[in-house]
Amino acid sequence: MEKVRCLVIDANPLVRNCLQELLATHPNMVVQGSASGLGLARQKIRRDPPDVVVLGRAGPADERLAFLRALMRALPTPVVMLVEADAAATAYAAEAVALGAVDVIEQSAQHPETGLRARARTVADRVFRAAFARVSRLQDAEGPVGTGGAQHLRAGLVALGASTGGVESLGRVIAGLSPQLPPVVIAQHIPDGFSELFARRLDRKVAVRVHVAEHGVRALPGHVYVAPGNAHLEVHRRSGAFWLRLSDAPPVNRHRPSVDVLFRSVAAAAGAGAVVGLLTGMGEDGAQGLAACRASGAYTFAQDEASSIVFGMPRAAIEIGAAMEVIALDDMAARIHALTHG
């Protein structure tokens, strides 16, 4: 296969050299160049667009975000962000993901190159996989779908799962939902701490209420509940209502939260009263859970390949017959409304 071409951007020469060395060890990747600043990076990208960009610390955070925003508007390219593990970096990384960054890799603030070398193979693999993400031109989300007044709900629960590319994709779906919906529960593979920022940003922009899920809370219509970044989310039925449960059980499919964990709980708790969808993401998490939901009578769907940033998880579900329907991202909100209202 033709090798993936990567551009490394970082002001620290030690980090820059470290990244070039460890990425070059991947048998199917070549580092086509590096840049110490954003201006030089722009020139190199215009002259010879790479397959993937690794964006480290090069200039202030707001300048890096402006660089990412401009890149995703002019020449959408898979970008992997390097961030330091602190509260300020968490907010920065969440904003970067919202702008279209494919992956975020944490690094030590004191000795970043040492930490990267210790995870050399993992870092190289993540950058390589990111190169195959289908990124789209940055655009503003559409407004909410009109409600047309109160309607009878024929489904009692909506569940969605996603991984790579899911933050942007889920944002577009949720922006199209109205408050006249049953509860919506979401498992998104997301680093610990990002879920709060993700939920808070969406809650300010959309018609429904968006929260980070809390243990023991009753799931209410017109509300969206996002699994915390380091906990499994499950749904249980009691006294005719759905209740949320969080768990620190071991990761499933290498993930916590796991989409499979959420979907299996939805199958048991809601059965035919659920609408369940699996969106963009790497790997296979969620495929078996979606199959369990379909077997329980739920209406199941998967995102189509053309609109998926990474088609791995939807493809796995489609291949085992777990999805009753394959839907484009921009059609999901309207489809969810049609499936949940009588």
d(CA 193, CA 177): 25
Instruction: Establish whether 10 is a catalytic residue.
Output: no
DSSP per-residue codes, 13-76 = HHHHHHHHHHHHTSTTEEEEEEESSHHHHHHHHHHS--SEEEE-S-S-HHHHHHHHHHHHHHS-
Instruction: Establish whether 163 is a catalytic residue.
Output: yes
In the numeric block, the tokens 């959309």 are attached to 206
Choosing from 163, 195, 265, 308, which is the catalytic residue?
Answer: 163
Torsion, Cα 301 306 312 318, to 10 degrees, reads: 40
Choosing from 285, 296, 307, 337, which is the catalytic residue?
Answer: 285
Choosing from 189, 223, 255, 337, which is the catalytic residue?
Answer: 189
Question: Is it true that the peptide bond before 257 is cis, omega within 30 degrees of 0?
Answer: yes
Cβ proximity of 30 and 2 under 8 Å: no
The tokens describing 302, both together, are 């998967």
* Distant-in-sequence, close-in-space partners of 236: CB < 8 Å, separation ≥ 6: 242, 243, 244, 245, 265, 269
Instruction: Establish whether 285 is a catalytic residue.
Output: yes
Q: Which residues does the annotation mark as catalytic?
A: 163, 189, 285
